[in-house]
């Protein structure tokens, strides 16, 4: 892949050769990162290969893999070749394809909707490994087509609305994880519009939970609590896993509120969330919260305790979560778990443990670009400042600062 990028970059197919720094900016990488890729070992990550070739506009006939081809019954990663879609900060509001075009569109013998479902699934998987920065332009470039399908849907409208809700909500999640809460709210509000038309209480509750999460992370836990309570208004109609993920969000809000009863209600929600997620182990019904496992809830409880300034309570929870290990496909969660554990050790004065886990966290960052990860790294670096006169700690802090200098966006 490195040789292809270099050859394609240096060939004057744009009228002139492309500099390494310019190509790196297109790929959302630093110039040294691109230099290592061009001269380093083979890249075998299909999602990353497809993303990079799409952003560079490499013709498909030059590729040795086929984006969009189905393997074992599952569509591979499909990516738009455009690196500059209609303004990705806007919720789609204009038609770019006609109804007749949509009716003729097919991907590998499947309907257009099935093809878009494959695109979304691949992006969701890639997001867990890489973070949102490499994906935002590509995924939002498909949004006008999704919007037009909703406008023209006939007998299949319910199926279309289920997909559109998931697609637009995922766009909101990506903007949230680059720290752009304004755009995250716009996209998630559109997802709620679709969910309300669909009339499915499970879909509506999930989107309300996402709105609660955005509100809480953007500094409004009171509104986050209101939205979480609204999501739980139909609790009997939800799956155990959905109830668990909403309770997890409500305890986040309680952890940040100064109300005298918030600590008591936080503990109640911890117990309820753990009970629900354990019940979900025998759940057979599908829902939108497939990532909500006991390990996930455990990590989120630890994060809430840490955020509430309760490092002493958070440490054993985060230690237990770390000892379980994480799905290697959840690279962002792995970094977050390590950074939170190191922060808890530092808050309690455990210097050696804090430094050891910090080094592990920095090594795990790799190519992940996420506002949430960047924020946690900055919090960790600040927590290590209590040993600012210690040379070995300063060396570790330097590594954290270097990792945090990657292109983390800042919230609007």
Quote the pLDDT of residue 269. 95
- 247 pLDDT tier (thresholds 50, 70, 90): very high
pLDDT over 80 (residue 3) = no
d(CA 172, CA 158): 21
Mean pLDDT for the stretch of residues 7-24: 68
pLDDT over 70 (residue 374) = yes
Quote the pLDDT of residue 68. 47
Residue 258 CA, chain-centre distance (Å), reads 29
Quote the pLDDT of residue 326. 63
Find the range with the poorest average confidence among 109-123, 259-273, 341-355.
109-123
Quote the pLDDT of residue 143. 87
Asked if residue 82 lies in contact with residue 141, where contact means CB atoms within 8 angstroms, the answer is: yes
**Which residues, at least 6 apart from 234, have a Cβ–Cβ distance to it below 8 Å?**
201, 204, 205
Higher per-residue confidence, 229 vs 131: 229
d(CA 333, CA 368): 10
Helix-, strand-, coil-residue percentages of the chain, each rounded to 5? 70, 0, 30
Mean pLDDT for the stretch of residues 286-299: 91
Q: How many Cβ atoms sit within 10 Å of the Cβ of residue 328?
A: 8
The sign of the CA dihedral 294, 299, 304, 309 is positive
Mean pLDDT for the stretch of residues 24-46: 77
Beta bridge partners of 70: 75
The DSSP letter of residue 298 is: H
**Which residues, at least 6 apart from 156, have a Cβ–Cβ distance to it below 8 Å?**
113
- 376 pLDDT tier (thresholds 50, 70, 90): very high
Quote the pLDDT of residue 16. 63
pLDDT over 80 (residue 107) = no
Higher per-residue confidence, 301 vs 112: 301
Secondary structure class of 133 (helix, strand, coil)? coil
Mean pLDDT for the stretch of residues 2-7: 74
Joined together, the tokens standing for residue 200 give 């499915």
pLDDT over 80 (residue 55) = no
What's the whole-number average pLDDT of the chain? 82
Top mean-pLDDT range of 9-18, 206-215, 381-390:
206-215
Beta bridge partners of 106: 111
Mean pLDDT for the stretch of residues 188-201: 96
Asked if residue 68 lies in contact with residue 107, where contact means CB atoms within 8 angstroms, the answer is: yes
pTM (two decimals)? 0.74
Burial (Cβ within 10 Å: 0-12, 13-18, ≥19) of residue 73: exposed
């Amino acid at each position: 892949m490195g040789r292809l990028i270099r050859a394609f970059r240096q060939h004057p197919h744009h009228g002139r050769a492309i500099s390494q720094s310019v190509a790196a900016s297109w790929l959302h990488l630093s110039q040294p990162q691109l230099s290592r890729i061009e001269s380093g070992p083979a890249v075998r990550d299909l999602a990353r290969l497809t993303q990079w070739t799409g952003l560079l506009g490499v013709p498909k006939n030059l590729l040795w893999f086929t984006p969009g081809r189905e393997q074992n019954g599952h569509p591979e990663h499909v990516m738009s070749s455009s690196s500059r879609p209609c303004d990705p900060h806007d919720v789609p509001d204009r038609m770019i394809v006609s109804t007749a075009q949509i009716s003729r569109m097919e991907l590998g013998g499947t309907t257009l909707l099935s093809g878009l479902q494959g695109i979304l699934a691949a992006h969701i998987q890639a997001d867990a490994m890489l973070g949102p920065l490499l994906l935002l332009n590509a995924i939002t470039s498909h949004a006008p087509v999704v919007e037009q399908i909703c406008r023209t849907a006939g007998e299949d409208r319910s199926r279309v609305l289920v997909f559109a809700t998931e697609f637009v909500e995922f766009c909101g999640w990506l903007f949230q994880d680059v720290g752009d809460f304004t755009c995250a709210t716009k996209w998630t509000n559109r997802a709620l519009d679709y969910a309300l038309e669909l009339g499915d209480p499970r879909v509506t509750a999930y989107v309300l939970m996402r709105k609660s999460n955005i509100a809480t992370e953007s500094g409004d836990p009171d509104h986050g609590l209101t939205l979480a309570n609204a999501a739980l208004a139909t609790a009997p109609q939800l799956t155990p896993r959905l109830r668990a993920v909403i309770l997890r969000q409500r305890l986040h809000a309680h952890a940040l509120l100064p109300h005298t009863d918030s600590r008591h209600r936080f503990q109640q929600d911890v117990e309820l969330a753990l009970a629900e997620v354990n019940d979900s182990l025998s759940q057979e019904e599908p829902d939108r919260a497939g990532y909500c496992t006991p390990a996930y809830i455990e990590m989120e409880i630890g994060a809430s305790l840490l955020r509430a300034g309760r490092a002493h309570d958070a440490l054993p929870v985060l230690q237990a979560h770390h000892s379980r290990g994480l799905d290697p496909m959840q690279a962002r969660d792995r970094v977050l778990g390590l950074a939170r554990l190191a922060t808890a050790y530092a808050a309690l004065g455990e210097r050696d443990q804090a430094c050891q886990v910090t080094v592990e966290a920095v090594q795990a960052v790799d190519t992940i670009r996420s506002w949430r990860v960047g924020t946690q790294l900055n919090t960790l670096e600040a927590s290590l400042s209590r040993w600012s006169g210690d040379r070995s700690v300063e060396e570790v802090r330097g590594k954290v600062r270097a990792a945090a200098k990657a292109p983390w966006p800042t919230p609007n």
